[in-house]
Structure 1
Amino acid sequence: MESIRIRFKPDGFGNALYARVSWSKLSDTTARPIALVFHAGGLLAGSSEIVPPAQTAFLAERGFVVVAPNYRLCPQVTAREVVVDCEDAYDWATSALSNILQSEHGLQLDGQRVVTFGHSSGATMAMLIGASRPVKAVTAFYPTLYASDVSGSAHQPCSVPPFNLMPEYEPSEEDWESITPAGTQISEAPLPVPGTIPPPRNRWQGSLLKKGQWLSTICPDQEFTVIDPLTKLHDNWPPVMVVQGDADRIPGSGIDLARRPCADMRTAGVKEVCLETVKGAPHMFDMQLTNADVEPGWLSVVAGLDWLTRYA
């Protein structure tokens, strides 16, 4: 599999936002469909580098050019600007990217055949792009849902593991300098690594989730509909599959929340909706799974990716 990083837009400080673009060398010379994937991290952490490589390879081997954009991370921007970055990534992937890949790698893209997928908050972005752009299909792995419902779990203090085990944390002045460095827009930040002391950004994010303050932090104007795709339903939505573990306890995610939008989408006229339930699977269950695994988790991942290939 070939993979390169390409600048797709500047951030607010004049630096580059990058997308990782991946494809397989195939003898077929026809124009290739595009799979846009948005990374996890609650809009506060993560990057294109945490997208599971096995999922990228799966789609690349089936003829897709897989585009994984970075986006500006909160709190230096709000969720509204993150959505703009994701929309800009779609627009770039369906226009300028084709010329770049054609001239430098001899690849042709079909900008009319685009699918989106993502993980956690990235799955929410994939659904939002499906609502605003002509996307053929969406697969949402354990998405954050119903942000505009202030009675929902993402707005409430969380007392389940691991959040109940986290000590109280308030960033120091020095911590804030690393979270919001002067003159630099953060668009890539690691996720916490189990067994290590997390950096200030990750400790702060965990504290926000524990206190029920995550959404109000990334949406300081309290306009939660900005990141709630279920407020943007219409009968021209693309086919949507939600892949959800039934042991997911992350605020804003979970099997009960996943059942609800499937019903709402059908009521709104979305023609094809599917829920793939993964028994015993927690949040981000698929990050380390590969095609060497035969467990139900990988089979559900394949179901989600096959959903995209079916419609592209």
Structure 2
Amino acid sequence: MANPIRIRAVYKVVDGQEIDTDIYLPHQDDTHSLHPVLINIHGGAFMLGSSEMVNPDQISDCLARGWIVVVPNHRLCPGVNVLEGPMQDCRDLLSWIYDGSLQKAIPDTNVDVDCDHVFAFGTSSGGHLALSLGFGVDRPVAGIYDMYGPCNFSHPFWTTPLPYVPHPDSLSKEIIDQVYGEKPVPIRGGVSLEGQRTAPGPPDMSDPRQAFAFSQISGGTVLKAIYPSEEYDQVDPLKNIDGKFPPTYIVHGQDDKMVPIDLSRDLLEELKRKGVKCDMTEIPGEGHTFAARMKAGSRTWELQRLGFDFLESLIER
């Protein structure tokens, strides 16, 4: 596919800082037909990453389906907690789409926004943020595709150190103060945990934000870092599912050691218990953050596409 049309738009301003989103447009014609919207949220343990760090092949796949793809930045923890930062930003983006602002951001096109079919998708922490658009909002998304997103925060895994994750030799008070003291709170940070082409190579432990993030991941203290109040039920998708929760599809690697697949299996069971339309695909041989490494046309690629097929099945023809 030729390079897609990409437009940058600002969807909110906080403390004088513009928080922006990339908008990718499908092929334009003269029909003025309605186009569903996919919100594509990057991963990064809520502390790292940016809108540039998503899989371009997945974007192309969704554009070929005739969808508008919206890839937002959001404020990064720990300078703001996950509820008031990343979750609130993504929820404000959803309101921005619903109130007609997305349509206003693409005025000179023949692409009309279908606000009845706004979907959410994300990888890793982005999967959690996609799930967060199914609760705590006046109007949830029409469907969710969660790719190995964190949930079930009462599980003992979330306080278990991970010795196989890179970590700094030490974390000085100077580094900690620097990360917490960043003003404004950054919306782009360090590397992507997904290993995207835009950020190759190992983490740079001389970068305070990267050193801080990997210290929390390896030490089993991510939740405390992103939500110090420890009232995790407020931000745990598994604890906020009801019968009105949007249809949800989950994809997870069977060999994931960063977010164990059992957490997604628990989420699936809760969705079923509450009568939510849902399904899950387990990817053999894949660990965490495989979305960036997979090759279009591979077995993994075809299996993960089932999530987008699920969302497409929710569109009335």
State the TM-score, normalizing by the size of structure 2.
0.88
Q: Secondary structure at the match of 2:302?
A: helix
Structure 1 contact 146–152 (Cα < 8 Å) conserved: no
Alpha-carbon distance in 2 for matches of 1:42, 1:167: 17
- Match runs of 1:105-144 below 5 Å: 105-131=109-135, 132=137, 133-144=139-150
Alpha-carbon distance in 2 for matches of 1:51, 1:94: 23
Task: Return the offset for 1:206.
Answer: 1.2
Structure 1 contact 124–227 (Cα < 8 Å) conserved: no
1:277 and 2:282 aligned: yes
Show CA shifts across 1:57-90 (max 9, x none): 1111111111111111111100111211110010
Alpha-carbon distance in 2 for matches of 1:203, 1:288: 23
Alpha-carbon distance in 2 for matches of 1:100, 1:279: 41
Q: Percent identity?
A: 25
Structure 1 contact 168–207 (Cα < 8 Å) conserved: no
Task: Return the offset for 1:106.
Answer: 3.5
Q: Secondary structure at the match of 1:266?
A: helix
Q: Secondary structure at the match of 2:108?
A: helix
Structure 2 contact 42–53 (Cα < 8 Å) conserved: yes
Identify if the C-alpha distance between structure 1 residues 135 and 146 changes in structure 2 by more than 3 Å, giving closer, same or farther.
Answer: same
1:187 and 2:168 aligned: no
Alpha-carbon distance in 2 for matches of 1:196, 1:242: 28
Which 5+ residue runs of structure 1 have no aligned equivalent? none
> Which residue of structure 1 aligns with residue 248 of structure 2?
240
Task: Return the offset for 1:175.
Answer: 6.6
Q: Which of residues 305, 308, 312 in structure 2 aligns to 1:305?
A: 308
> Which residue of structure 2 aligns with residue 90 of structure 1?
94
Q: Which amino acid aligns with 2:290?
A: F
- Match runs of 1:1-312 below 5 Å: 1-11=4-14, 13-27=15-29, 28-81=31-84, 82-95=86-99, 96-101=101-106, 103-131=107-135, 132=137, 133-147=139-153, 149=154, 151-159=155-163, 161-163=164-166, 166-173=167-174, 176-177=177-178, 179-180=179-180, 182-191=182-191, 193-195=200-202, 197-198=204-205, 199-250=207-258, 253-270=259-276, 272-291=277-296, 294-312=297-315
Q: Which amino acid aligns with 1:187?
A: I
Task: Return the offset for 1:220.
Answer: 0.8
Q: Which amino acid aligns with 1:206?
A: F
Structure 2 contact 25–111 (Cα < 8 Å) conserved: no
Identify if the C-alpha distance between structure 1 residues 287 and 257 changes in structure 2 by more than 3 Å, giving closer, same or farther.
Answer: same
Q: Secondary structure at the match of 2:95?
A: helix
Q: Which amino acid aligns with 2:26?
A: S
Structure 1 contact 23–61 (Cα < 8 Å) conserved: no
Identify if the C-alpha distance between structure 1 residues 305 and 264 changes in structure 2 by more than 3 Å, giving closer, same or farther.
Answer: same
Of Structure 1 and Structure 2, which has the larger fraction of its residues in helix? 1
Structure 1 contact 4–22 (Cα < 8 Å) conserved: yes
Show CA shifts across 1:270-310 (max 9, x none): 1x21110100101110113343xx32211122111211222
> Which residue of structure 1 aligns with residue 196 of structure 2?
none
Alpha-carbon distance in 1 for matches of 2:202, 2:217: 20
Pairwise CA RMSD:
1.8
Alpha-carbon distance in 1 for matches of 2:185, 2:268: 36
Alpha-carbon distance in 2 for matches of 1:87, 1:35: 14
Alpha-carbon distance in 1 for matches of 2:270, 2:152: 11
Alpha-carbon distance in 2 for matches of 1:30, 1:92: 21
Which 5+ residue runs of structure 2 have no aligned equivalent? 193-199
Task: Return the offset for 1:42.
Answer: 1.1
Name whichever of 63-72 and 132-141 sits farther off. Answer: 132-141
